[in-house]
Amino acid sequence: MKLAHLVVLLVACAVSRVLAQTAAEKEVLQFERDACKGFLNADKAALERDLTENFTLTLSNGEVSTRAAEIDELRSGKVHYDVFENFDMKARLYGDSTAVVLGKTRVKGTSEGKPFDRVVQFTDMLVKRDGRWQLAAGHCSRIEK
């Protein structure tokens, strides 16, 4: 009987350890949530801070966008977001300065005057420089409703 209790306790501890997020994972996921605000508010300074200079985003149509293109698109008003929200995220850390985040993003707004409202699956690659996280690359795939 004591052995059964010990086994149950060990399994419970192992499962809770696997499911628990580390402080670094929480930090990365908070960065992802905060980075959405730069897009939502068309905040050039925030995007320049949060995206590496050579940031690339592979869009669901196969096109590749750059940091400059993303910022210009928002500043020009070509794209406007009413909602830009990441959810269902999971972080994987590789050492102290590299992370991959998988999740979903809901975006709603207008593009060239036409409304859109969609959810995409994303994979982001982050790097930590000078003590703070930045997005280095991303890929998104549209989820059909």
Q: What DSSP letter does each residue of 43-57 carry, written as one string?
A: -HHHHHHHEEEEEEE
Four-point Cα dihedral 12, 16, 18, 24, nearest 10: -160
The pLDDT confidence band at residue 21, using thresholds 50, 70 and 90, is: confident
Residue carrying the six token digits 């750059």: 66
Given phi > 0 = left and psi -120 to 50 = alpha, else beta, which region is 72?
Answer: alpha
**How much is the pLDDT for 2?**
57
Residue carrying the six token digits 């293109």: 69
Among candidate residues 118, 124, 89, the one with its CA nearest the CA of residue 103: 89
The string of pLDDT tens digits covering residues 30-57 is 999 999 999 999 999 999 999 999 999 9
Q: Domain 23-142 classified CATH 3.40.50.800?
A: no
Given a contact cutoff of 8 angstroms between Cβ atoms, the answer to whether 81 and 102 are in contact is no
The string of pLDDT tens digits covering residues 63-73 is 999 999 999 99
Stated pTM of the model: 0.82
d(C-alpha 67, C-alpha 73), whole Å: 10
- Residue-range domain boundaries for the chain: 23-142
Given a contact cutoff of 8 angstroms between Cβ atoms, the answer to whether 39 and 84 are in contact is yes
